[in-house]
Structure 1
Amino acid sequence: MVAAGVGVALLGVAGCGPGGLAGDESEGATGETSAAKPSEEVLAGVDPCGMLSDEELKSFGLELPGEAMSTVPWRPGCDYSGDPFGVMFVKNKRQTADSAAKKDTWAKFERAEVNGRAGATAVTEGATQAGTCDAMFDAGQGMIQIRAHDVARSDSRDECAKALEIAKKVEPNVPEPA
């Protein structure tokens, strides 16, 4: 019951305007951009539910299987319930860490390297009290986002550190930036 609620909460945060993941905003009437095709080709083989092995997922306290989700076709994801963190893995084919930095939806955006790749940790305006943080890094012509959500919202845990820790495990499994 709690796990289902966490999944719904994560989906709610991910799909809401300013509280959503980078790239949630409308990108024109057709939803297409000129950069979409090359990125889709480079990242085509990346499955958000297959970025880590079952053993690695369990080591982070995540429950299997993950639930595939996508609010838009260029940003498929996979949501995992867990304790103490729920985690969402997202393949964003239209954004990079640099383009995400330019968005005005962040309450906090800090540059970070993920195993040498350009990246960042970020908290959206709508999630400052939710115990939710995104770690992102460039992959292909897009980026990978890892959203960690502290289920119990404990002040003793750092959701940005957890998202970054998981991102460092995911990074070797995805294409280098184009």
Structure 2
Amino acid sequence: MSVWSRSLMVLAAGVALVGASGCSAGGAVEGPSTETSAPSASQSLQKVDPCKMLAPQDLKDFGLEGPGSPNTTLPWEPGCDYSRGDPITATVYKNMRQTVESAAKKPSWAMFKRIEVNGRSGAQAITKGATQARICSTMFNAGKGLIEVSVSESELPDDLDECAKSTEIAKRIEPEMPEPA
């Protein structure tokens, strides 16, 4: 074999090796990792599954039936719908673009009241379009975003405080969420 042919084969093998190591599509990496930093707060929030925020006993305690249905209407705000429940229905969202502070600036609120959820910055809010529908949301900061719990009364009569119920659920979820960034 000529020197030129061997050089070409070594070059081709080197290109294949570099390509295989640089273009891995999530395959396992052998050996110790060289990365020493912990995941960022936004990564922690990205790993949160809205349909796993409430344990089966929590669902039962609030009168919700599980499992919930994933709600992926907005990719940056995935949620989980619990549309079967008595006395309430609920949707739990994680929003990776907003914080309570930035959400407060939205012009869509009929009511936006600052509160704390287990010591975290939070708010109770009703959108202008939801005042007649009896829907109230409680949100709190988590990671580099927020967690939001929207509650509505599932049947008449309207004798339930939806904001109090959404806050009660948010307080149950909060201890398991990543700290605000």
TM range (shorter): 0.7 to 0.9
Take 2:44 and 2:51, find their aligned partners in 1: how far apart are those partners?
17
Deviation at 1:45, TM superposition (A): 1.9
Paired residues for 1:1-178 under 5 Å:
40-80=42-82, 81-178=84-181
The structure with the larger Rg is: 2
Where do 5+ consecutive residues of structure 1 fail to align?
1-37
Deviation at 1:154, TM superposition (A): 3.0
Determine if contact 2:110/2:126 at 8 Å carries over to the other structure.
yes
Take 1:157 and 1:62, find their aligned partners in 2: how far apart are those partners?
15
Deviation at 1:39, TM superposition (A): 6.1
Take 1:53 and 1:64, find their aligned partners in 2: how far apart are those partners?
9
Determine if contact 2:41/2:179 at 8 Å carries over to the other structure.
no
Which residue identity does 1:48 align to in structure 2?
P
Deviation at 1:66, TM superposition (A): 0.3
Q: Provide closer, same or farther for how the CA distance between residues 126 and 153 of structure 1 changes in structure 2, counting only shifts above 3 A.
A: farther
Which residue identity does 1:98 align to in structure 2?
E
Deviation at 1:74, TM superposition (A): 0.8
TM (norm. structure 2) is: 0.75
Determine if contact 1:92/1:145 at 8 Å carries over to the other structure.
yes
Consecutive aligned runs of 4 or more in structure 1 exceeding 3 Å deviation: none
CA RMSD of aligned residues (A): 1.2
Percent same amino acid at aligned positions? 55
Q: How many residues align?
A: 141
